[in-house]
Amino acid sequence: MPIKSPFETDVAKAGHGEVILDLLPPSIPTLTTLTYKYPLKLLARTPGFVSRTSAQTCPSRPVHLYLLTYGGGLLPGDHIDVSITLKERTRMVVSTPQGSTKIFKTEPTASVKGQRGTPAHIATDMSRQMLDVRIDNEAAICYLPDPAVPFKDSRYEQVQTFTVDGTAPDSKRGSLCVLDWVTEGRSSRGETWDFHFWKGKNEVWSDDGSGSKKLLLRDSIILDDECDDAEQDADDSHPNLIRERTHPHGIVGTLILYGPVYENLASFILHRFTTQPRIGARNWSTSVSPAKSATESYSSTTNTNVTWTAARVRAGFTLVKFGAADFEAAKSWLGDLLREEGSVVREFGEEALICL
């Protein structure tokens, strides 16, 4: 039996972290719990920013939480498990100040051919990040991290679960803004979707207090090259399924908006989407040649290099999905959109957009 380390605490397991943010009277945001353990590091800071023009009456000061990992990335087998609780009327900005979350290579292992269910031995060397956030009434989270960058041959799974109180009236509900995006890898080294597996799942559950939960929203992207490692080593001509399925994009992502704090932003984005130029529209008023107008209408849909869609799905959620040629294009498009509307900066301060 190994000797127990005297520095070991039973508060946190490896990679686990727990944060509870509460509001002490009169209106002082306080972290009542902040624990973490290697390879995870959590830092919190409360800048003096106070929102002056907010969608909510007397908003509290936002607390910034930085998610850090040693080396700014995840090695095979690293499991990060963070649980955050936002008590009533608190506000939190979560960001990744180390830049993109790098996901390092997984050593080849045999997998069961042709099956999606993950065998146990694969599960152990896959990097995994779990985030579980409980948002009480009138609390708000703004989570706009850098994208995940899965390196060649990596395997990664990310599950982010948010729980809100389903019984609250619309104006008192918790609010959330979550961005989840993934790039094709280190494009500077010629990687284009060369990883084995990337899965990003975001769920929002409603909890009515009596213990019964209902799924409000699930957004799940699975990028799987579906090939046996052993087989791939023998045969490099295996077509890259992920590249085929993401073409022509070099980055894809999802933005989820919910709750009163983001109501304006959601309406703004939806309006921007529905007033985009029609695809294939012709300008009948001028006498341009048909061939020319066809190319013009085509370029007008692609000139920003970002293809996106927005929809108000059910239960007051707004879902924005986008794909772009590269990280810079997506970043500037999204950053411009959020800055132009301005409510994220108004509610949480300029620093909330640090990654954009």
Partner 1 sequence: MNIKNNTEDLEQEIADLESRLHNAKAQLASSPRSAKASSLSREPNGIPPSIPMHALLLLSDSALPLGSFAYSSGLESYLAHNKPLPRSVTSIASFRRFLKLSIASLASTSLPYVLNAYRYPETLETLDNDLDASTPCVVVQRASLAQGRALLGVWERAFRGSYGLYTSSGSSMANGAGTAAKAVKALEDFLDALKSCFDHVDELGPKGHFPPLWGVVCSIMGMDLHQTAYVFMLNHAKAVLSAAVRASVMGPYQAQAILASKGLQDMILQRIEREWDTNVEDAGQVVPPLDLWVGRHELLYSRIFNS
**172 is an interface residue for partner 1 by CB under 8 A:** no
Residues 95, 145 contacting (CB under 8 angstroms): yes
Two structure tokens written together for 144: 């706009």
Select from 294, 301, 296, 295 the least CA-distant residue to 278: 301
**307 is an interface residue for partner 1 by CB under 8 A:** yes
Strand partners, 93: 64, 142
**237 is an interface residue for partner 1 by CB under 8 A:** no
Rounded to whole angstroms, the Cα distance separating 30 from 22 reads 5
Shortest separation between residue 283's beta carbon and partner 1, angstroms: 11
Shortest separation between residue 325's beta carbon and partner 1, angstroms: 12
Rounded to whole angstroms, the Cα distance separating 6 from 3 reads 9
5, 295, 299, 303: which one binds partner 1 (CB under 8 A)? 295
Rounded to whole angstroms, the Cα distance separating 221 from 182 reads 10
Shortest separation between residue 307's beta carbon and partner 1, angstroms: 5
230, 313, 328, 342: which one binds partner 1 (CB under 8 A)? 313
- The region, left, alpha or beta by phi > 0 then psi within -120 to 50, assigned to residue 189 is alpha
Q: Residue 35 or 307: which CB sits closer to partner 1? A: 307
Q: Residue 52 or 116: which CB sits closer to partner 1? A: 116
Q: SS3 of 89, please? A: coil
Q: Residue 92 or 310: which CB sits closer to partner 1? A: 310
Binding residues for partner 1 restricted to 316-335, rule: CB under 8 A? 319, 321-323
Q: Residue 60 or 318: which CB sits closer to partner 1? A: 318
Strand 318-324 relative to strand 251-258: parallel, antiparallel, unpaired?
antiparallel
**278 is an interface residue for partner 1 by CB under 8 A:** yes
**282 is an interface residue for partner 1 by CB under 8 A:** yes
Rounded to whole angstroms, the Cα distance separating 105 from 152 reads 6
**298 is an interface residue for partner 1 by CB under 8 A:** yes
**11 is an interface residue for partner 1 by CB under 8 A:** no
Instruction: State residue 300 phi and psi, 5-degree precision.
Output: -70, -25
Using CB under 8 A, list all residues that contact partner 1: 114-117, 199, 201, 214-224, 226, 244-249, 252, 274, 276-282, 294-295, 297-298, 301, 307-315, 319, 321-323
